[in-house]
Chains A and B, each alone.
Chain A
Amino acid sequence: MLKAFKFALLAGAIAALSPVAMAETPKDTLVIAENIDDIISLDPAEAYELSGIQVLANTYDRIMRFEPTDITKLVGGVAESQTVSDDGKTFTLKIRPGLKFASGNPVTAQDAAFSLQRVIKLNKTPVFLLSQLGWTPENVDQMVTAPDDSTLVVKIGVDFAPSLVNALLSSVVGSVVDQKTAMAHEANGDFGYEWLKTNTAGSGAYTLKGWKPNESVVLEANPSYRGGEPAMKRVVIRHVPEPAAQRLLIEKGDTDVALNLTGDQVTSLKGNADVTITPSPQALLYYIGMNVKQKELQDVRVRQALRYLIDYDGIVNSIMQGGAQVHESFWASGFWAALDENPYKFDPEKAKALLKEAGYPDGFEITLDAPNSSPFNNIAQSVQSTMAQGGIKVNIIPAETKALLTKYRAREHQLLMIYWGPDYMDPHTNADGFANNLDNSDAASKGKPLAWRNSWQDDAVNKMTADAVRERDEAKRKQMYLDEQKKVLDEGPYAIMFQETKQVATRSNVKDFIFGPSADVVYYNLTTK
């Protein structure tokens, strides 16, 4: 016993001797606690994960962009001005004079053309953003040209509204890569791809100093940045997968920003004067997909009934706790052309009437696939209990996200809960995802949009999508998207439930940490503390 006691003493002594955790981060360093395990590449022609895009928004300037100083307005980034030809198919962009990459090389129209061309030629995940403009590896060198150092000419092979083209040029693939630096690291004709996976060559506010997967991303200020040298000379993004640990770190001041706090953690931090919570509505939607292959779900009245069997407000208040707002149409609130009607409320009587009309007076049994992580597991349980009140017996099948997606992409689900974020800031991205389905066969020659995954095809809706894309009159185009959202809301195979609200926790001395509605508009360069 004496020995054990001595040990306790020794352990206590060791603990007491170790230094007290320093309660603040370095003055000129911004420390961010975030779950960054999704990053697999930092090449702007390949990166398509939220944390990765966030890093790229700060390390590359883009042809068009939402400036940190006003994230609501799409303006020229590297491009200073643009003219569009009368037929709407040729865009001539002037590059700002005197810009420099972090390497010291001048930013020219050739670099911008090279950046767009390499996206098409490398043919990685985000290529679809640009290939829909009618660009192919064969024609892109003619479609995208730089007649001189300050002129970029972009031709498109399809009828697309100019606002949509600009939205595409402002997405991650519009990042301007330093051609000289990239080509200096080229191997086997890869346009510097292997090297750029783990390095940056841009003219953004920061350069990448190091990325250790599952550990950290370290950025260093670029003094020659167009918007001025950032106050924070270093940004350290530390991988902290556990939200409860993030909360402790921000309470103790060992991190300046925590990005993955859960609703109840945010609630418990509300009284803490050292921590500021800033809600930021996101474009991310949480929804349940209803596979129309399932006999019961083929009836539009059943799909409507299920939408009446979700306790939207209850989930927002008790589970999300500020982490979401109710939103039922397919384009998120706060964005151009969003439909802000939320006609579905929890109403078991209405649901039962609809089910009776459809021939299911006693309801039926159905499975719901859902991610096995918070908050989805809790939302699924709520849905299970409210659907039971309408006679629908829901069996929840929890799974890892990747396994869930595999099943979804094979159309083997009945009901499936997941989230969807837009690819760029134009409603076409979500119309294309939620509504468009040009080939409903299992072969899916046109890809696997959400409508295909739920086996739902409506020719009228397909036509609406195609027409809206072409419309050059902004007001008309807006109305077309409102109509399309209404139609999908009434007839579609989804119960779109919520729009995410990111609750960004910062130390109270941190000012101007810009966290916009998507990963493309998260900026560190204005931050001070």
Chain B
Amino acid sequence: MGSGMAGRIFRQLLSFAVTLIMTFIGLTAVTFLIGRLTRIDPVLAVVGDKASKQVYDQTFHAMGLDKPLIVQYALYVKRLISGDFGISVLTSQPVLSDLLRVFPATFELATLAIIIGVAAGIPAGVLAGARKGRWADHVVRVVGLFGYSVPVFWLGLVGLFVFYGKLGWVSGTGRLDVFYEDIVTPRTGIILIDSAIDGDWDIFRNAFSHLILPAAILGFFSLAYIARMTRSFMITQLSQEYVTTARVKGRSYWGAVWRHAFPNIMVPLITVIGLSYASLLEGAVLTETVFAWPGLGLYITRALFNGDMNAVLGGTILVGAVFIGVNLVSDLLYRVFDPRLRGA
């Protein structure tokens, strides 16, 4: 490996680091500004509506709200650099430990949801694209339209009513039955993994039966999106001349679809899946509310409505990091699937 190669990698890393820092400065600054401009008095979250003027004033000062906005922001960034996300006023816990508690719950849900979305969405999309205008296409499009237009809140409640209330196939709200709570050692916070490490398969099954319904519902929404995008990518590719060439050379229709057209839609598809996954990782507040799922979406939303800025900023930074992480992984995957990018 020559020194030119090393230099190039160094320059790439440097530019990545600069982008990263700029992104986070922008992200926190905008969030901070919006948070402070909303007409919600953050002191109320701490002292409530009934505190005396004296208690109110004392808290107002203790929270640093008497300082100019720019100073408040500077102080926040200074603490952040030393790794201190501050304390959430709503939970009385450090924001970092809150995030470490709520994010695994969301991660578990989002990951199963995206697996469902990809595993069902891609075949459905390819099928619809390849059978454009036929009944299979219509079915996929109607299902997709349904997934696009039905409110997730409603679908969650109906799902609970049918599969939990009537059929009893799945467990109710929360992550575990009361029987099983606080038994597994919390290593990752992802109950499926923790219970598997402990070898406690009862808890694994229980956690799965709590997880599958919200994951299927979120998965259905990403399925709808992924299937729609796959279909349109597929239609574009199938109208290309190389497909006709392959057919002329004697490839079967499905052979041409899977061997020739499909590899070419991989790159845009990865972008679609990545974005879908990232937005699931942000947390789905409505799903989390219906299923009493103690995840990131519920945490950030509640913090926002109470003016709990440390929690909002901490959550925003985490979401930002997730998006950057997912983008990075997508970039790496492009190189795997696009021969032109290999070695670039």
A247 nearest CB neighbor, chain B only: B165
B178 contact set on A, CB distance < 8 A: 25-26, 29, 31, 236, 238, 254
Q: Point out the residues of chain B lying under 8 angstroms from A214, CB to CB.
A: 91, 102, 294, 298-299, 302
Cα–Cα, bound, A127→B58 (Å): 13
Alpha-carbon distance A241/B294, docked complex (angstroms) = 10
Query: Given A123-B54, A236-B181, are A242 and B292 neighbors across the interface (CB < 8 Å)?
Result: yes
Is A402 within 8 A of B41, CB to CB?
Answer: yes
Chain B residues, Cβ within 8 Å of A236: 178, 181
16 pairs, A vs B, C-beta closer than 8 Å: A1-B127, A3-B123, A15-B212, A20-B168, A21-B209, A25-B178, A40-B91, A41-B92, A213-B90, A245-B157, A245-B172, A248-B160, A402-B305, A405-B49, A409-B49, A447-B52
Given that A15-B163, A125-B51, A128-B50 are known contacts, is A242 also in contact with B40, CB under 8 Å in the complex?
Answer: no
Contact B124 A4 (CB under 8 A): yes
Q: Does A60 contact B (CB under 8 A)?
A: no
Which residue from B173, B177, B182 sits with its C-beta under 8 Å from A22? Answer: B177
Q: How many residues of B contact A (CB 8 A)?
A: 67
Q: Are B92 and A215 in contact (CB under 8 A)?
A: no
- Does A184 lie at the interface of the complex (its beta carbon under 8 Å from any beta carbon of B)? no
Cβ of B206 < 8 Å from any Cβ of A?
Answer: yes
Q: In the bound complex, how far is the Cα of B157 from the Cα of A44, in angstroms?
A: 37
Query: Which of chain A's residues 253-308 have a Cβ closer than 8 Å to chain B?
Result: 254
Residues of A within 8 A of B206 (CB): 19
In the complex, which residues 298-316 of chain B have their Cβ closer than 8 Å to any Cβ of chain A?
A: 298-299, 302, 305-307
B288 nearest in chain A by CB position: A241
Q: In the A-B complex, list the 10 residue pairs whose CB atoms are closest, starting with the nearest.
A: A213-B91, A18-B209, A406-B41, A125-B51, A215-B294, A3-B123, A21-B171, A240-B292, A128-B52, A125-B47
- Starting from the known contacts A214-B91, A254-B177, 10 additional A-B residue pairs (CB-CB under 8 Å) come to A3-B127, A18-B208, A19-B171, A26-B178, A40-B91, A125-B48, A125-B55, A248-B173, A402-B305, A403-B38
**Chain B CB within 8 A of A218 CB:** yes
Interface flag for B290 (CB, 8 Å): yes
A7 contacts B294, C-beta separation under 8 Å: no
Q: Which of B47-65 contact A (CB under 8 A)?
A: 47-55, 58
Complex-state Cα separation, A246 to B119, whole angstroms: 32
Docked-complex contact A127 and B55, CB < 8 angstroms: yes
The answer, yes or no, to whether B46 is at the interface (CB within 8 Å) is yes
A405, B46: Cα distance in complex, Å: 13
Residues 255 to 308 of chain B near chain A (Cβ within 8 Å):
289-292, 294, 298-299, 302, 305-307
A322: min CB distance to chain B, Å: 22
CB of B152 within 8 A of chain A? no
B96 close to A (CB within 8 Å): no
Residues in B lying within 8 Å of A, measured CB to CB: 38-41, 44-55, 58, 89-93, 98, 101-102, 116, 119-120, 123-124, 127, 136, 157, 160-161, 163-165, 168-174, 177-179, 181-182, 205-206, 208-209, 212, 216, 289-292, 294, 298-299, 302, 305-307
A511 at the interface (CB under 8 A from B): no
Set of chain A residues within 8 Å of B48, measured between Cβ atoms: 48-49, 125
Q: Are A26 and B179 in contact (CB under 8 A)?
A: yes
Instruction: Collect the chain B residues with CB atoms within 8 Å of residue A26's CB.
Output: 178-179
CB of A385, distance to nearest CB on chain B (Å): 26
Which residues from B are CB-within-8-Å of A20? 168-169
For A7-19 the 0/1 string (1 means CB < 8 A from B) is 1000100111011
Of the candidates A4, A198, A244, the one whose C-beta lies within 8 Å of that of B123 is: A4
Residue of A nearest to B168 (CB): A20
Query: In the complex, A25→B39 CA distance in Å?
Result: 43
Within 8 A of B (CB), among A196-212: 197-198, 210, 212
State the CA gap A3–B168 with chains docked (Å): 27
Q: Does A366 contact B (CB under 8 A)?
A: no
* CA of A14 to CA of B178, assembled, Å: 23
A423 to B168, CA, bound (A): 43
B174 nearest in chain A by CB position: A238
For residue B298, which residues in chain A have a CB less than 8 angstroms away from its CB? Answer: 214, 241
Contact A245 B177 (CB under 8 A): no
Contact call B41/A405, Cβ cutoff below 8 A: yes
B119 contacts which of A7, A41, A124 (Cβ < 8 Å)? Answer: A7
Q: Which residues of B contact A403 (CB under 8 A)?
A: 38-40, 305
A238–B181 alpha-carbon span in the complex (Å): 11
* A358 interfacial by beta-carbon distance below 8 Å: no
CA distance A127 to B52 in the complex (A): 8
Given A402-B45, A402-B307, A405-B41, do A37 and B292 touch, yes or no (CB 8 Å)?
no
Q: For residue B292, which residues in chain A have a CB less than 8 angstroms away from its CB?
A: 238-242, 245
Q: Which of B45, B172, B208 contacts A254 (CB 8 A)?
A: B172
A198-B208 contact given A244-B157, A402-B307, CB 8 Å threshold: no
